[in-house]
Amino acid sequence: MFYTQLGNYSLIFSFIFSLLIFYSCFKNINNKTKQIESNIFSFLSIQLLTIFLSFICLVASFVVSDFSNETVYNNSHTTKSIFYKVSGSWGNHEGSLLLWLLVLVLFVFIFFLTSKKHPKNYRIFTIIFQQVIVIGFIFFLLTVSNPFNTLFPIPDEGLGLNPILQDPALAIHPPILYLGYVGSSIIFSSSLAALIEDYVNKNWAIHIKKWIIVSWIFLSLGIMVGSIWAYYELGWGGFWFWDAVENISLMPWFCLTALIHTIIVLEKKNHLKNWTLILSIATFTLSVSGTFLVRSGILNSVHTFANDPNRGIFILLFLFILILLSIVIYFLFHKNEKPIIKDTFLLSKETSLVVNNWFMMYFLSVVLIGTIYPIILEVLTNNKVSIGPPFYHKLLSPFLIPFLIIMAFGPKLKWIKTKFSKIKLTNLFFLIISLLISSFIISFTEMKYLFSTVLFGASFFLLFKTIEEFFIKNYNFSQKISHLAFSIFILSILINGIFSTEFSTNMKFGDEKKINDIYIKFTNLKTLNKENYKTIITSFQIKDEHGKIMNFNPEVRIYNQPEILTSEADIKSNIFSDNFLVVNLLKDDGYFNVRYQVKPFMLWIWLSVVLLTFGGILSFFRR
């Protein structure tokens, strides 16, 4: 009870200090001094401390199982381990928003400390816009989603956390993802401030580029961790399923990727000012829109936490205010910009970066339509439709071919103009080799299509060109690493998608079956009682066409609080492929549904994302 009351009062005090910061910043704008008043720094420090204290109190309430706290009662249980009690504090709607708020005020504080070389009013306006977001979220927490609501009489036991959320990967997934989401708020506020102060120039681009890369790195890692969790925990056996909430995190990633390339043009050539501002606003808008769709319960997904229309209406209204505010400011203060095409040539680095943005916006549009179309259709006609992988594959795959080819040439182009004669004949050699390799690979599959060969060829061509880049002396090593990682990522996805195999059958203990050239034998079955669940451990022996024998021990877990049944896959990983076995308990006595999958190059998908983000990290150490 003590932690709950302290956390609630800390949240209230943080709201008061947020209003004081907002007022002090407006008052400080009219001052003729070149320095920001010291009381603003003091208020920002207190704001951070009160939000941090509030979050720590929520974590402490989970650790001590304080069931007088409604959030703890709904999402914890005394039999849970200490690790999942702590991670459970943000594994729910209220706690996750408090974590979002903590990251938000932390980033405001870091921005204040790292922007001292920039104009005073630019810094002040950035803090003002950030405080609008902070005040909105604190008000939302206090009125609609308070993590410190109390219960009386105090229950003896809690309802427990959803078992599929009790996983190490998912414990770190929200904090990493929020660092990416909330980083975009600084980009948003800074863009509006720079727009008002006419500070959209090279200095601003250099400053905000660091925030863009930080947000992009954390968002990439957050998406990857979530994808790994879904791969082994949900038993789907794949790395991406175009689930609605997966798409929600992917859309701001497309915007951030486009923004990384656009900010380079602004930094080097002072072009694309308005487009950079629009992307900055759109990135944060998509992040908050994702929060609205997930927290309102509109999306039907395993990721959703809440199903409360009042929460959805509040976030929708708040989102509308932010978008309206940014649009009004943009049209009031933006200046007409000379088209970039007048100062550049078709064959130039500027053009390649603009084309990169075109592709990113197309990919974003496809994902956006595929995500919100079912929602709009259900509202208008009351008909439910489901848009799955075929929709995205058909619309995205054809455009990958020119995108990969342009990406292969882009880094070697020069600013303003590149002579066509500078494009070497070795490129034709790489292209022919790439098509020959892809034809050879496709010949081993049933996909005898020209399109598949060309797509594979474009992927290999990008790989060869990025490898070639390492033999050219220039200092942009981070770009080389990231582009190499992306080429490996695309190739791994293609190989994984084409060569994956899956077998499914129903078996009981003692059965042995042959599926194609695979022998599957159900060798053992035992039941164990754990601290908060009962587990049924099955044992299987699989013999492939080469005579290689592998033993698997997938589980079916029956949790006691709440009463949920989950399947735990057994995965044998190596550098070339994953062998994936998962079982589901059927209603028929003693029978299990057995799914065995071979997923080639799965490990390379994860490694390529890590390498991609490593390239982003290296950009901070460039000369």
Short-list 328, 458, 449, 473, CA closest to 406: 458
User: With contact defined as beta carbons under 8 Å apart, do 104 and 178 qualify?
Assistant: no
Whole-angstrom distance between the N-terminal and C-terminal Cα of the chain?
Answer: 54
Low-confidence winner among 35-49, 74-88, 190-204, 262-276 (lowest mean pLDDT): 74-88
Question: What is the Cα 519 distance to its own chain's centre?
Answer: 39
Element (H, E) at 95: helix 93-114
Q: Are strands 512-515 and 591-600 parallel, antiparallel or unpaired?
A: unpaired
What is the spatial distance between Cα 178 and Cα 135, in angstroms, rounded to a whole number? 18
Residue 564 has pLDDT above 90, yes or no: no
Low-confidence winner among 256-265, 363-372, 444-453, 505-514 (lowest mean pLDDT): 444-453
User: With contact defined as beta carbons under 8 Å apart, do 284 and 185 qualify?
Assistant: yes
Instruction: Map tokens 């006595």 to a residue.
Output: 589
Residue 340 has pLDDT above 70, yes or no: no
Q: At 332, list the tokens.
A: 């009031």
Q: How many other C-beta atoms can be found within 10 angstroms of the C-beta atom of residue 443? A: 10
Instruction: Map tokens 């003692």 to a residue.
Output: 510
Task: Categorize the per-residue pLDDT at 241 as very low, low, confident or very high, splitting at 50, 70 and 90.
Answer: confident
What phi, psi does 68 have (nearest 5°)? -70, -20
Neighbour-count burial for 459-492, b at 16+ CB within 10 Å, e otherwise: bbbbbbbbebbeeeeeebbbbbbbbbbbbbbbbb
Alpha helices in 410-476 (DSSP H): 426-442, 450-469
Residues 6+ apart with CB under 8 A from 343: 269, 271, 416
What is the radius of gyration, based on Cα positions, of the chain?
27
Low-confidence winner among 292-296, 342-346, 598-602 (lowest mean pLDDT): 342-346
Predicted local confidence at residue 306, as pLDDT: 46
Short-list 147, 62, 49, CA closest to 97: 147
Task: Categorize the per-residue pLDDT at 178 as very low, low, confident or very high, splitting at 50, 70 and 90.
Answer: confident
What is the spatial distance between Cα 179 and Cα 99, in angstroms, rounded to a whole number? 10
Question: What is the Cα 94 distance to its own chain's centre?
Answer: 20
Q: At 54, list the tokens.
A: 């509030």
Averaged pLDDT of the chain: 85
Q: At 508, list the tokens.
A: 């009981």
User: With contact defined as beta carbons under 8 Å apart, do 466 and 477 qualify?
Assistant: no
What is the spatial distance between Cα 136 and Cα 426, in angstroms, rounded to a whole number? 57
Average pLDDT over residues 159-186: 82
